[in-house]
Amino acid sequence: MRFWPTATMRRMAGVLAAALSTLFFGAAAPGANPDPACTEQTFEAVRFLVCPFDPARHELRLMARDANGHWLRSFARLAKTLGPDGGRLSFAMNAGMYEEDGTPVGLYIENGTELRPLNMRDAEGNFYMKPNGVFSLRSDGTARIEETLHFAIRSDRPLYATQSGPLLVMDGKLHPAITADGPSRNIRNGVGLRNGTALFVMSEDPVSFGKLARFFRDALKCDNALYLDGTVSSLWVPAQRIRLRGADIGPMIVVLDKP
């Protein structure tokens, strides 16, 4: 039996790892940033893609409509709507629950314009699992995740906002109605905040609410985190050739590199 020298084995392992990475993620875009926007982490046997962005260093937007006022519903229409700004696109993800036609279920503010009002109804479904919450982006380059009731009494209005539910983590505590590892398992996504940085997360494996919440709190150290959706969860990272898509989606969080 022939044994390769250690250095040769390391080179071969590197080639194999690169090949597997290309198979899973796709080839890297020419001239792409060597520091990936999203990385894979495993927590309690579930794989997650974690994509952190600092609103002070990146341009974060919420987008749901094209120039004609039609709901976007897909990354293809998002790219068309971005036009010349599409070359700066770093990341996109579904960002809130929606009706069958793409209309947001709850509050939706885009570039300072409120397209849907705050939804404080009591009803069935994940969105209405109180407390639910609002993810917002301010004109000063900061992001917030807060309970819907807290948002409602604020006098200042954000530049962008999307309402969803349930809140997964609130001031370091898990949502009281979420069980540790319930039977409902789906591909799910959400957003958390850590020291001002927004961490967008999408599971690669079906995951329970409880495990997703603990991932945000215990692994990512997020004091606040908001569930965005499940089953339809979609994510696009052009530079890494990652494009994971569910059904037609509603509002989207869009991250652009600053000019």
Indicate whether 11 belongs to any domain: no
Indicate whether 25 belongs to any domain: no
Indicate whether 6 belongs to any domain: no
Indicate whether 15 belongs to any domain: no
Q: How many domains does the chain have?
A: 1
Specify which residues 177 forms β-bridges with: none
Please tell me whether residue 76 adopts helix, strand or coil conformation: helix
Indicate whether 154 belongs to any domain: yes
Q: 238: domain range? A: 30-257
What does residue 101 show for φ and ψ, rounded to 5 degrees? -90, 5
pLDDT tens for the chain, 259 residues long, are 322 333 333 333 333 333 333 333 344 443 444 468 999 999 999 999 999 999 989 999 999 999 999 999 999 999 999 999 999 999 999 999 999 999 999 999 999 999 999 999 999 999 999 999 999 999 988 999 999 999 999 888 999 999 999 999 999 999 999 999 999 999 999 999 999 999 999 999 999 999 999 999 999 999 999 999 999 999 999 999 999 886 789 999 999 999 8
pLDDT at 15: 32
Indicate whether 24 belongs to any domain: no
Indicate whether 77 belongs to any domain: yes
pLDDT at 155: 83
How many Cβ atoms are within 10 Å of 66's Cβ, its own excluded? Answer: 15
Residue whose structure tokens are 């603990």: 214
Burial label, 160 (beta-carbon count in 10 A; 0-12, 13-18, 19+): buried
pLDDT at 32: 43
- The pTM (predicted TM-score) of the whole model is 0.86
pLDDT at 153: 94
pLDDT at 259: 85
Indicate whether 89 belongs to any domain: yes
Joined together, the tokens standing for residue 163 give 């309402």
pLDDT at 246: 67
